[in-house]
Amino acid sequence: MTNNDTRQAARMADKIAQLDSICARARIMPVITIAREEDILPLADALAAGGLTVLEITLRSAHGLTAIRRLREQRPELCVGAGTVLDRPMLAAAEQAGAQFIVTPGSTAELLQAGLESAVPMLPGTSSASDIMLGYGLGYRRFKLFPAEVCGGTAALKALGGPFGGVRFCPTGGINPDNLQGYMALPNVMCVGGSWMFDSEWVNNGDWARIQQASAEALQLLD
């Protein structure tokens, strides 16, 4: 192993440790798409008041990067990551905005390489064993399973645990209070992502108390 290989392995080990710490803190990670700029702070505050302090802000809307910057500046106690990162420019923009972790819906060779070069830890998206192997060959050991329920849910994760014993997942897509406990009971699941605790109607109506309550109730299912 060359010195460069040793340094890269050490950097990846550090990123894996960071992701483990983030996911252990999260347990449930809200996956948030901001429709209105004025919702950024009250929504984050409601989720945090309910106990959800690790937030994935997707870049699916024009307000995603603004939300990351504002939360990093005004809510430094929260852990804020960028989701729906699709390519190098989006990764660079998320880093510049202050994202503390990166989540992608899928994996490409270019994006996986960009993740290796980035100082920010990344959860690459996967939906198959082949996707996992693409990242595994580069040193990745932590992945997002998406869309989890469509990909086979807990049965798929149990099956993947055989050939990929050292790999752990954050499943997202179709997670809800009815199946949450089944996912979190699996040894290769470190946290889950979802949005059921902040229904869009509640956000539109500014029903922050209801979002706080739903967030707290979601965490209570894991106690």
* pLDDT tens per residue, range 25-63: 999 999 999 999 999 999 999 999 999 999 999 999 999
Q: Quote the pTM value.
A: 0.96
What whole-number distance in Å separates Cα of residue 102 and Cα of residue 93? 11
Q: Which residues are catalytic, by number?
A: 56, 144
Q: How confident is the model at residue 71 (pLDDT cuts 50, 70, 90)?
A: very high
Residue pair 46/198 in contact (Cβ under 8 Å)? The answer is: yes
Give the pLDDT score at 1.
62
* Domain residue ranges of the chain, discontinuous segments joined by +: 3-124+191-220
Q: What topology is assigned to 3-124+191-220 in CATH? A: TIM Barrel (3.20.20)
Pairing of strands 54-58, 79-83: parallel
**Sign of the alpha-carbon torsion through 176, 179, 180, 186:** negative
End-to-end Cα distance, the chain: 44
Please state the φ and ψ torsions of residue 16, each to the nearest 5 degrees: -60, -40
Average pLDDT taken over every residue of the chain: 97
